Every structure is written in structure tokens, then in C-alpha cells.
Amino acid sequence: MTTEGRDRGGMRIVYIHQYYCNPTMTGGIRSYEQARRLVAQGHTVHVITTDITPGKRSLGWRRTDDDGIQVHWFSVPYANNMSFARRLRAFAEFMVLAAAKATALKADLVFATSTPLTVAVPGVVAARLRRVPFVFEVRDLWPEVPIEMGVLRNPLARRLAGALATFAYRNAEEVVALSPGMAAGVTARRPGTRTTVIPNAADLALFDVAPDAVQRFRDEHRWLGDRPLIVYTGALGAVNGVEYLVRAARRMRESDPDAQVLIVGHGKEWDATKRLAAEYGLLDHTVHMWEKVPKADLPVILGAATMSSSFVRPVRALWDNSANKFFDALAASRPIAVNYGGWQADLLRETGAGLVLDPYDAEQAGVVLAAHLRDELWLEQARAAAHRLAVERFSRDLLFAQFEAVLNRSAAGRTRGRRGPAQAGVTMETPSGTA
């Protein structure tokens, strides 16, 4: 252990995340928030990641300090609109680079978070060579999701992807899954894998926005003013189907011409979604589209929202998602509308923190949305329910404590030589917050 790590009694943790983001960047900040808290607890954290800045390609590693996190960047271009072959090449390139880098760093524990699934390889390699425990985090269930969506059709590719998933689970001291469904998928593929459910989190401090900042935002955008607003923030990828919101907006406008929709994000379906909004005569009138913004800019946008939203295509495997946008809405005390079933829909039905829309009938969804955007009593109750969920079940600090416990348990288990079937099982840290 480094002198710094020894003095503070913490571990040296190598943290592998191919698409790590900090708050100045566009994307989820789960890894940043967890890593900076680990540093605050006395651990030494080295994050291995990529720089995907468009048009930027330089050889060699670049190192930065993110609030005490040592971040190692290597330029590996990537974008959602790349061909499948180009994306595979990016995954393979990082896999090789990260394996070499992780192995070169001293560690007491190696942690890798997917996707892509290939990040497990450098994690396992480094952990074995360093003779330290490996912990794997599942953010999306692969290859189950692409198979069900019809993207991964080749039988050989399916077998290889399945073998890679099994390899990751078999070599992990413990697996962290971001939803109960993902945990079930892990144990279905490899029974006996010790798995703990720790979902994405609500960053309460980040989304605590002053009312005057929200008012300025509304005043600065003349199309908004005091009108009701539905926002969608995040990826516009093949799995999201954000055109659903555009179709709902067309029907919603008939009931409430003043209601506004703001889509903030990026992805493969951006152009198609924008074309559909223009075709319906909604673009820049009812539907407004902004390309990706830094995470730090989202709090005021959600603060100005009447309601947030999260969408996926009607594919059962996608119900197990743990989308950041869902938890950001809770952190901002905003109702959220979803068009899928599963554990998040169950939470909304149980608590009243939002709406569960028909996954197939976007027009009916528009009617439902219009009816609730002006219902002040329902909005007040839904905002309160969202806030309670954020504070009592999904606060970042609460879930971090559970995350650190997994790492400490894994390190202690390896030290004592206790690993295997006796430790198997699924620990459900959510949604109730009790095991």
C-alpha cells in the first residue's frame, strides 16, 4: 500500500470504467461520486478510463486529479452512431490498454464497472496478477438485453458474450447489480454468485437549486415562461425510443396548447426524433431539443420542470434498467413518467411519485400527461413522494455506505480465504433499503 494509503488505513483501489464522467462532462457521474467518497474515507483510488472527445486522438496516458481521484485517460474514440464493428474495436482497444495499465498499478482491490462487458477482462487479469480480490458491477445485463432486442443475432457471438459474462461473474469476489432484475440475471447465468443490489442514486445536494435560479431559467427562455414543462434528459439511443414522447406531445398539445417538452441529450436517434417533431409541426413550438449539456447544468433544468420522464422501447429486458434520469428526478423532487413496467414502475405505483404510461399507446400517454400537468394537488403530492424516495431509499450517501461495505467485505473475504458457495446469495439493498 502507498504511504498515503497506509497512513489513512484505506485500500488502494483500481477502478476501471471505460466511460467515466465528472460533473463538468456529459453523462452519469456514479463512478465519480463513489470514487470521491472512497477517497474521503481514506482509500487511494485510481480510475482507468477513456477520453472520447470528438476529433481528439493522442497516444499515451494522461493523468488528472478529480477531487483526490487519480484518473488515467487514454484517447479511444467512441460514439453511439458508430457502426457495430467500430464500437467493438473501441471496446477491444480499451480492454488491452486497461489490462496493461491496471496491472502496472499497485492495488489491494480491483473494481470494474460495465458496460461494455469487456471491462471485466482487464479487471480479472490485474486482480489475478496482483493476487487481490476483483469486484464487478453490472449496469446493463449483457448479453441478455441485446439478444432480446434482436441486435445480437449471431449464435457464435451470443455464445462468446455469454461466456464472457460467466467469466466475469465466476472471477468476482462479489457482483454489484444496479437493479433486482439484473441481480436475478446474474444468478440465473451463474447460480451461487454473491450479488448485491445497489441502484443508481439521488444526488440531493447537487439538485438543491435556489428558486431564483429556476425563475431566471424560465424567464430567459421566452417559449417557457410560466408554462408547464416535461423534460427528458439522457441518451437518445436505440433502446430509449424517445419518439414516444414526441408522439405523446402531439396529442398533449390538443388538450393543452401551452404545455412544453424539452429533450436534452444525444445519441443515435437524435436526428430521427428531431425529424419527427418537425414533421408534426412541434419542433421549436411544443418540442424543444438541446444537445447534451454537462451534468452540472441539469439541476436547474429539472428544477424548472413540472415533470421528468424516462422511456424505453417495449422490450421486457429493458424494464430492469437503473436510469440516472429516474434518480435525478427524485433528487430534484420532481414527478417522473415512465412507459415501462418493472421495479421502478412498482415504486411509482406504490408511492405516487409519478406516472406509469402505456408502453404502446403514446397518444393515450399524451392525454394522461396533459391531465396531470395542471393538477396542482397531484403535483404537490407527487413531488413530496419523490423527495421521500430520494431521502429515505436512494440518497447517494446511503447507497455509498452499502457500496463501500461490499468492497470491504470482498477484501476481508479474500484475506481470510473465505470465498465460494458458503457466501453465495443476493443481497437486496433496494428498493426498501433493507436486506
pLDDT digits (tens, 9 = 90+) for 52-71: 876 666 789 999 999 999 99
Q: How many residues in total does the chain contain?
A: 435
| pLDDT at residue 420 in the model | 42
Task: Return the residue matching grid coordinates 449471431.
Answer: 154
Q: Of 307, 356, 309, 310, which is closest to residue 335 (Cα–Cα)?
A: 307
Neighbours of 238 (CB within 10 A): 14
Per-residue 3-state assignment (H helix, E strand, C coil) for the chain: CCHHHHHHCCCEEEEECCCCCCCCCCCCCHHHHHHHHHHHCCCEEEEEEEECCCCCCCCCEEEEEECCEEEEEEECCCCCCCCHHHHHHHHHHHHHHHHHHHHHCCCCEEEEECCCHHHHHHHHHHHHHHCCCEEEEECCCCCHHHHHHCCCCCHHHHHHHHHHHHHHHHHCCEEEECCHHHHHHHHHHCCCCEEEECCCCECCCCCCCCHHHHHHHHHHCCCCCCCCEEEEEEECCCCCCCHHHHHHHHHHHHHCCCCEEEEEEECCCHHHHHHHHHHCCCECCCEEEEECCCHHHHHHHHHHCCEEEECCCCCHHHHHCCCHHHHHHHHCCCCEEECCCCHHHHHHHHHCCEEECCCCCHHHHHHHHHHHHCCHHHHHHHHHHHHHHHHHCCEHHHHHHHHHHHHHHHHHHHHHCCCCHHHCEEEECCCCCCC
Q: Of 8, 5, 30, which is closest to residue 17 (Cα–Cα)?
A: 30
Q: CA 51, CA 261: separation in Å to the nearest integer?
A: 32
Average pLDDT (81-110) is 90
Q: CA 300, CA 160: separation in Å to the nearest integer?
A: 44
Average pLDDT (157-182) is 96
Q: CA 297, CA 300: separation in Å to the nearest integer?
A: 6
Neighbours of 127 (CB within 10 A): 26
Q: CA 406, CA 174: separation in Å to the nearest integer?
A: 7
| pLDDT at residue 292 in the model | 81
309 neighbors 230 (Cβ within 8 angstroms): yes
Band (431; pLDDT cuts 50, 70, 90): very low
16 beta partners? 48, 112
105 neighbors 14 (Cβ within 8 angstroms): yes
Q: CA 351, CA 384: separation in Å to the nearest integer?
A: 10
Q: Is 125 left (phi over 0), alpha (psi -120 to 50) or beta?
A: alpha
Average pLDDT (171-178) is 98
Cell of 373: 400537468
pLDDT digits (tens, 9 = 90+) for 24-61: 998 899 999 999 999 999 999 999 999 987 666 678 99
Average pLDDT (3-19) is 76
- List every span in the chain annotated with CATH 3.40.50.2000: 3-201+395-428, 211-392
Residues in Cβ contact with 380 at an 8 Å cutoff, skipping those fewer than 6 apart: none
In this predicted structure, the answer to whether residue 77 has a pLDDT above a threshold of 90 is no
Average pLDDT (424-430) is 57
More confident residue, 268 or 175: 175
Neighbours of 2 (CB within 10 A): 11
Cell of 193: 454468485
The least confident of 14-23, 74-83, 125-134, 372-381 is 74-83
Q: CA 320, CA 236: separation in Å to the nearest integer?
A: 18
What percent of the chain has a predicted confidence (pLDDT) above 70?
91
279 neighbors 213 (Cβ within 8 angstroms): no
Output phi, psi for 262, to 5 deg. Answer: -125, 120
The least confident of 98-102, 283-287, 314-318 is 314-318
Task: Return the residue matching grid coordinates 458496460.
Answer: 115
Average pLDDT (209-215) is 97
Residues in Cβ contact with 188 at an 8 Å cutoff, skipping those fewer than 6 apart: none
In this predicted structure, the answer to whether residue 8 has a pLDDT above a threshold of 60 is no
In this predicted structure, the answer to whether residue 416 has a pLDDT above a threshold of 70 is no
| pLDDT at residue 115 in the model | 83
Q: CA 287, CA 85: separation in Å to the nearest integer?
A: 34
Identify the CATH class of 3-201+395-428. alpha beta
Per-residue 3-state assignment (H helix, E strand, C coil) for 390-405: HHHCCEHHHHHHHHHH
Residue type, 400: F
| pLDDT at residue 152 in the model | 84
What mean pLDDT, rounded, does the chain reach?
91
Q: β-strands 61-66, 69-75: how paired?
A: antiparallel
| pLDDT at residue 1 in the model | 37
pLDDT digits (tens, 9 = 90+) for 318-354: 999 999 999 999 999 999 999 999 999 999 999 999 9
Q: Which CATH number fits domain 211-392: 3.40.50.2000, 3.40.50.10300, 3.40.50.10710, 1.10.540.10?
A: 3.40.50.2000
| pLDDT at residue 78 in the model | 80
235 neighbors 28 (Cβ within 8 angstroms): no
Cell of 374: 395542471
